[in-house]
Chain A
Amino acid sequence: MKQIPAIMPFVARILAICVIGAVLAAVVNAVSPVGISWLPRREGSALTNPDALRQVGVSVEQAVAMLEESQTVVIDARSAGQFADGHIPGAINVCSSELPEAAEPLYEVLPAAEDMGEMKVLIYCQGQGCIDSVRVFDYLSELGYGQSLRVLTDGFGSWRAAELPVEEGQGS
């Protein structure tokens, strides 16, 4: 029985460490440019609902058909360096880690979400399971573009592997 009171300060100090961590997390997250909400969205979020991403995933063949058949804005969600090394011709670089500023060039070509009609947005990053597409997908989905979004499932690697045209440089 004597051991129970003895362990209480130990447990209290463990809780104190956790509370200090939580307070620091809250403060830093509130001011951080990469801060995220404590409770994620469920609807239309590829992060919390992998089905959302699965439903909009397209293969290289489907992406090519999309580009030929419908008006499609292509978004390269990778870094500027990767974009310069090679990207899908006509793609706009929206570096996912620099959102929301990186999305500004998009607003020049994308109509308002409700005016998208049949227009599509194809997002890609480096390879299968890369997170940059997920980030841009969630960002645009939150702005209401969810219905128009498609994600190249196997990323730019599959585009290159299919020996499709690649543009180099920073683009227009």
Chain B
Amino acid sequence: MSKAGLLWTSRLLRWGLAAVFALAAVLKVMDPYRFAEDIRNYLIMPWWSLHALALLLPWIELVCAAALVINKWPAEAATILIAMLVVYIVVLSSTIIRGIDVHCGCFGKYDTSSAIVVILRDFVLLGMAVGVIVVSRRRRA
């Protein structure tokens, strides 16, 4: 791929990923209590961690989104997002296996998608995050 092609592929992947995570993060920051309840509903995390996770996760997502937009440490930000997405996919899959019908909580109260749809969406985002790392390595090479 040409240099210009790599540049624009990198930009589109970073900006697209950043937009999705920034929106998700802002909606959760606006209502941490709701997000804490969404986390609780997965019946995985201990009670004492609910508030801390509800406060921390959106802000880490937001910092990652900012890093992707300004192209500062994009591979590191993408790595964190990959780790988060893998956890989300595993946890969501477990809800299907356990037969629990939960509200994803990914976009606050506005996200009413089913677990399957959210998992598919997470795989697309996972692909984009891997793409950010691959493209940023190629551009450095």
Interface residue ranges, A against B (CB under 8 Å): 10, 13-14, 16-18, 20-22, 24-26, 28-29, 34-40, 42, 47-50, 97, 129, 131, 134-135
Q: Is the CB of B47 within 8 A of A49?
A: yes
A13 touches B47 (CB 8 A): no
For the complex, what is the distance from the CA of A141 to the CA of B52, rounded to whole Å? Answer: 21
Main secondary structure of the interface of B (DSSP, over half): helix
In the complex, A171→B77 CA distance in Å?
50
A14-B80, A17-B77, A39-B48 are known contacts. Are A47 and B63 too (CB-CB below 8 A)? no
Say yes or no: B32 contacts A29, CB within 8 Å: yes
Q: Give the shortest distance, in Å, between A123 (CB) and chain B (any CB).
A: 15
A21 to B28, CA, bound (A): 14
Q: Are A21 and B40 in contact (CB under 8 A)?
A: no
Contact A48 B40 (CB under 8 A): yes
With contact pairs A39-B51, A42-B47 given, residues A21 and B76 touching in the complex (Cβ less than 8 Å) = no
Would you call B31 and A10 a contact (CB within 8 A)?
A: no
User: Chain A residues with Cβ under 8 A from B52's Cβ?
Assistant: 38-39
Distance, CA A37 to CA B50, complexed state (A): 10
Q: Contact between A36 and B30 (Cβ–Cβ < 8 Å)?
A: no
B37 touching A34, Cβ below 8 Å = no
Residues of B within 8 A of A40 (CB): 36, 47-48, 50-51
Give the CA-CA distance A18 to B32 in the complex, in Å. Answer: 18
In chain B, positions 30-58 with a C-beta closer than 8 Å to chain A are 30-34, 36-37, 40-41, 47-48, 50-52, 54-56, 58
Given A17-B80, A20-B63, A42-B47: A50 touches B33 (CB 8 Å cut-off): no
Q: In whole angstroms, what is the CA distance A8 to B21 when docked?
A: 26
